[in-house]
Amino acid sequence: MLPLFRKDPANYLLKIAREYGDLAYMRLGPQHAFVVSDPEAIRDILITHQGNFTKSRMLERAKVLLGDGLLTSEAEFHTRQRRLVQPAFHRDRLVRYAADMVDCAARARDTWKPGVEFDIHQEMTRLTLAIVGRTLFSADVSSDADEIGHAMTQIFELFDTLLLPFSDWIQKLPIPPVRRFEKARDQLDKIVYGLIAERRQSGKDAGDLLSMLLLAQDESDNAHMTDKQVRDEALTLLIAGHETTANALTWTWYLLSQNSEVEARMHAEIDRVLGGKLPGFEDVASLPYTSGVFAESLRLYPPAWAIGRRAREDYSIGNYTIPAKSILLMSPWVVQRDPRWWPEPERFNPDRWHPD
Ligand code: HEM
């Protein structure tokens, strides 16, 4: 099955779920794997009984880059970090990030000229990198933006290799791809540690994510994060916050290009609500159709199309026992194309999200 899975993994999971139901077993090499497609069973795995699972192998491997940031860390350490990072996503902070996002978007838009063709994915990647750089590190990053962009491109090119089986060994080889990866990672580290040192010295709250991470204090022991922890969380936010959003925006443009009626309605709403001004955080609530366009794009083309977990102990789903160490695969791509929950699932229909 592995070659088929590798070739078109999302659709392969879809085929398995359609053919074998909400709980389907397969072998992935030597591993037991289960595709879980029932929303309630998924909620139980990810939330209710989360203590019974560790993260996916892919996230374990991502530690070579991300260390112990929120995406890769486990158990009590994860809970503690989560509590520390939470204030960075407080509503007041979001208002500020939204202003930065709009500013970056307006600048990107101003470089587009009518009649000129360009690669929208490249453009969205550049945009979300600029946004994540601004929201994480404020203006500090502008002088490092090119270097960060270059290092990130190198890392993404090589990251896939490091997720392959045997990558533990590959990683130890002094071969050029590994060297390039390490060089890019060192480059990012140098920038991030440099920013941390500067900010610690100045002691000022720049209102960005980096300041929040440095100021965060654990209630139980009043401890702050070490430089390494701040580095891991900052790099996690940089990586997690930029590729996902770039993909989501790219698919949204694609869907709009294929659905001119939706596009026209979205523009009509934007023109009516904003009357030509740039949007702010507070305008989002008055743009239900536009929000629906984005939600519908995330439904049809979820950037994180699969989420994996590994069972620590035997685990029951209905009458079935999932043996300890099994891999559990849950796929938004599969669930969000299920006609039981989404009538006419292939249809791009933002009206499904209308508040009424
Ligand atoms: C459309 C955009 C995005 C999508 C589809 C997305 C998707 C996901 C998914 C599916 C997970 C769960 C992974 C797992 O537990 O296996 C996750 C976790 C996470 N994402 Fe995102 N994400 C998006 C944007 C962002 C942004 C903008 C940021 C940061 C600025 C971010 C930061 C994180 C972090 C820190 C985690 C780990 C949370 C935790 O376990 O405590 N993501 N994301």
Q: Which atom of ligand 1 is nearest to the CA of 81?
A: 41
pTM recorded for the entire structure: 0.91
**Which has the higher per-residue pLDDT, 144 or 29?**
29
How much of the chain, in percent, has pLDDT values that exceed 90? 61
The pLDDT of residue 143 is above 70: no
Q: What is the radius of gyration, based on Cα positions, of the chain?
A: 22
Q: Which atom of ligand 1 is nearest to the CA of 69?
A: 35
- Give the pLDDT score at 232: 95
Per-residue pLDDT tens for 46-62? 999 999 999 988 788 88
Q: How many CA atoms lie within 13 A of 44 on its CB side?
A: 12
Mutate to test the pocket of ligand 1, among 54, 71, 250, 330 (most ligand atoms within 8 A of CB): 71
- Give the pLDDT score at 243: 85
Q: Which atom of ligand 1 is nearest to the CA of 46?
A: 15
Per-residue pLDDT tens for 165-205? 566 666 677 778 788 888 889 988 998 898 899 889 988 88
Residue 247 CA to ligand 1 centre (angstroms) = 13
Per-residue pLDDT tens for 244-303? 999 999 999 999 999 999 999 999 999 999 999 999 999 999 999 999 999 999 999 999
How much of the chain, in percent, has pLDDT values that exceed 70? 94
The pocket around ligand 1, CB under 6 angstroms, is made up of 55, 70-71, 82, 236-237, 240-241, 244-245, 248, 303-304, 307
Query: What whole-number distance in Å separates Cα of residue 187 and Cα of residue 179?
Result: 12
**Which has the higher per-residue pLDDT, 139 or 193?**
193
- Give the pLDDT score at 219: 80
